[in-house]
Each structure stands twice: as C-alpha cells, then as structure tokens.
Chains A and B, each alone.
Chain A
Amino acid sequence: DGGITQSPKYLFRKEGQNVTLSCEQNLNHDAMYWYRQDPGQGLRLIYYSQIVNDFQKGDIAEGYSVSREKKESFPLTVTSAQKNPTAFYLCASRANRNYGYTFGSGTRLTVV
C-alpha cells in the first residue's frame, strides 16, 4: 500500500540534544510538508519542499532544519535551539494542488 511512514511513533530525548524525525513516502508525490501540533493550537507549518533539493521555511522554522536529498524522504531535525520541542509532529505529502494532503501517523516527541 502507498503511504507515508513516520518513525518512531514515540521519541524521548534529553534537553539540549538534537533529534531527527524520519518521514518516508512511496506515493511519488513531489511536495512534502512538516507540521507541528500542540493542544488547542491546530497545525502549524514548520518547513515544506515542493521539489528535491529545495525547501522553504514555514511559519515556525526557528530551531528546526530539514533536507530533501531524495523525493521519497524529508527528515526533520529538531535542534537544541528549539525552545519548546515537546509536541506532536506530522509529515504530509501531496500530489498536486487539486488534491488534499496525505498525512503520516505522526511522531510524539517528549523532551525531558
């Protein structure tokens, strides 16, 4: 089945450590997105990429970094510069603007 795989589902890290969240898709979609979800705040865009080797900052990019070396993969690194990293992180992809997003099942990151 085609879809988006995010791993791990739960992640615990100590404060001050960088951590990388995986996002892989086999849908052959060009565009990929990273969102952060906090209770009561909906989804906020961190980074997005419309094509391989290109990406743009979203509304809350500070403290995060991404890469897009392959069409299938769009990993997100949460750096120690991110002040409040504990959240639910969602990766999504999209075929084109006439279609909705397909979301992965998400990664719940807890920093202690």
Chain B
Amino acid sequence: GQQVMQIPQYQHVQEGEDFTTYCNSSTTLSNIQWYKQRPGGHPVFLIQLVKSGEVKKQKRLTFQFGEAKKNSSLHITATQTTDVGTYFCAEGSSNTGKLIFGQGTTLQVKP
C-alpha cells in the first residue's frame, strides 16, 4: 500500500544552522502535505504541494516536490528555537482525502 519514508528521524542543530528533512516514496505521489507538531501539541498544517517540481516558500521554510513526484523536502534556513518540533510529510489520496503520514523528523535546536 501507500507508504512514505521520512529521514532523518532526529536532527540536532545549533541555532542559526540550516535543517532539511526528506520524504520519499516508491510510487508516484498525487500530492504531499507538510505538518509541524510542537512538543506536547497537535499537528498544524503548513503547506500542500501538487505539481511536479513545485517549490514554495514560507519565510525561512522552503518546500520542494520532486520532478518525478516521488520525493519532497522541507528546508529551514537559519533555524531558531521556535522551529523545535516534529515535521511530518503526508501523502493525500485523491479519492478519499485520507492522509498517509511519514514517521516524522524531530528537530532539536540548541540556543
């Protein structure tokens, strides 16, 4: 069935360093969504990518969808302590609307 693999599982960075998490699939993805979950909180929707090769930016966050629509990445430039949390990618079903989530990447930022 559908499965998205996300790496790395954990990442520790010094404040000001960059961070990237990757989401990979063996099959073509119809779309990909990204969520952020703060410690003790619930996931919050960040963005949805639909088109092949799509790149979207939100301030220091850059989201990419691969040309073959089999991978995606989230890049954070110059991390801040407010970026701490777990970042999930999720593949959306075009028929049912249900999402299949990756395992998540937990980001720790040292001040």
Chain A complexes with chain B: yes
Interface residues of A (CB under 8 A from B): 31, 33, 35, 40-45, 48, 50, 56, 58-59, 90, 94, 96-106
Q: How far is the CB of B18 from chain A (nearest CB, A)?
A: 24
The residues of B that contact A48 with a CB separation of less than 8 Å are: 96-98
Interface string of B89-111 (1 = CB under 8 A from A): 01010101111111110000000
Residue B103 contacts which of A33, A40, A102, A106 (CB distance < 8 angstroms)? A40
The residues of B that contact A90 with a CB separation of less than 8 Å are: 42-43
Residue A42 contacts which of B45, B92, B102 (CB distance < 8 angstroms)? B102
The chain B residue sitting closest to A44, CB to CB, is B101
Interchain CA distance A35-B45 in the complex, whole Å:
15
Residue A101 contacts which of B41, B47, B99 (CB distance < 8 angstroms)? B99
The residues of B that contact A97 with a CB separation of less than 8 Å are: 92, 94, 97
Instruction: Name 5 A/B residue pairs within 8 A (Cβ), A-sorted.
Output: A41-B103, A45-B98, A50-B97, A58-B98, A101-B35
The residues of B that contact A41 with a CB separation of less than 8 Å are: 103
B55 contacts chain A at the CB level, 8 A cutoff: no
Residue B42 contacts which of A40, A100, A105 (CB distance < 8 angstroms)? A105
Contact (Cβ within 8 A) B43 A103: yes
Tell whether A103 pairs with B44 under 8 Å between CB atoms, given A45-B100, A48-B98, A58-B98.
yes
Interface string of B70-99 (1 = CB under 8 A from A): 000000000000000000101010101111
Q: How far is the CB of B11 from chain A (nearest CB, A)?
A: 15
Q: How far is the CB of B27 from chain A (nearest CB, A)?
A: 16
B25 contacts chain A at the CB level, 8 A cutoff: no
The chain A residue sitting closest to B31, CB to CB, is A97
Contact (Cβ within 8 A) B44 A43: no
Contacts A43-B90, A56-B96, A100-B45 aside, 20 further interface pairs with beta carbons under 8 A come to A41-B103, A42-B6, A43-B88, A43-B101, A48-B96, A48-B97, A58-B98, A96-B97, A97-B94, A99-B45, A99-B48, A100-B33, A100-B35, A100-B46, A101-B35, A101-B43, A101-B45, A102-B45, A103-B43, A105-B42
